[in-house]
Structure 1
């Protein structure tokens, strides 16, 4: 099924992918961890789950199918309806439906839909190229015993006769230590005097600057005129959506990016699915909105889609 491949593609980029009339795939981030029982290191991942209650079309999946298949939005919706009707029929016949790289669906004895995610698949882009691996446990006690055994075999011996044979070395070492101590003490005394001098000079400079600031008079002969900004409002029934984000920080980042490109974006209030939608623009005329949507899809964002809704 080609549509299951499109679903897997979207799960890498979004936390919620709704299949109209069937349900929604949800992802949850899981940080890297270590399994103490098997000494297995696991990279960060995204856990996939399924919610049958989320079936309302949000446009994300249909727009992606239309872009990938190079067909109209209505044709993509028809393909999705045929797809969901087929898998619902096969499930009712007792078959197990496998979504490639995602998981399997089946009915239990109570005729309730069950989803079993594929554990080997990781949809977290931050873990690209990483895989789980097993590392043997480090035995610190064994290393300590090895070191103790080496120390017993290679003891350090001092030869008193050699020290007595060259007594001048002892006095030379004492002289070096004494000279070092004197030099170190002199250096510290010099550093202390430099710090005191610098502190006194800095206080004088600060006092002089404060007096000059108090005596200064600032006169602005030609003040700048007051700047009035007219922020365009989003009105109309047809809106071009740049993206839907689970985290509000990501939506704010998208708004800033669109402003830099010259748009007047709008971040809508969180919808009932917990998503923040960011709008390119709004239109009263549907044909005008569709023309602008196709232009945006061709030039910069193939995943942009049209939302038909009244906003406050």
Structure 2
């Protein structure tokens, strides 16, 4: 089984795919552009980059593999771990790692991972069917020289009537030379504008990634029947967060699991990313909340964090 194929499948639908304990592949949308040296035009696309700091398992890749291969979530995590360990071993031996349809990884003299994205795949679905094409360069100097030659050869007619009989092809040639010059200026301005847009997109990339890694996916083989929870208004303003979930049923499942373990868990509602937040417990004062947070991080979940919010 090739993990690369599943990563490639997910990059068409998501902007970030994380390989646990290895790194994340992040896509950034680029506008159409042109290579002035090869005179090649490229359609809009998604540029892939690699971030070695994104290593927490968000469940996206493992859940996808488990669904396609018809295996358990734990088995999928094990398969990903084996593949990532092989990649790490190759990099430690100064060998490059080729990931099909995605790119290649290698280490430099400082031991840092260098990623070279593949150019064979375009992960932007709105550009499906569009391919790059080349156009020969316009030889403006040659056209201008031909115009000058025509102006030299053309006779100078003294009468007003004969002046109006200037050959049509000479007027066309002069118009073409002017058109090419104006077009060149406009095209350079367009390229500068596209470059500025790309810089702004790259600056926004980190904010998008931070939002993505707060989303969690759980594989629920036997989901509980839909229930209605009456969330009472609390005066406790300090909450130790257990997780945030895209699906409300997953949040309800998590609450039930924590209550069975003895926690005073509850649903806190939606955050600014429209994810349902679940707490281990809530407290009246900050000192008790910090003590509870330290205990939970040490014994249960090191990713727990404290939310201060009034309801």
TM-score by length of 2: 0.49
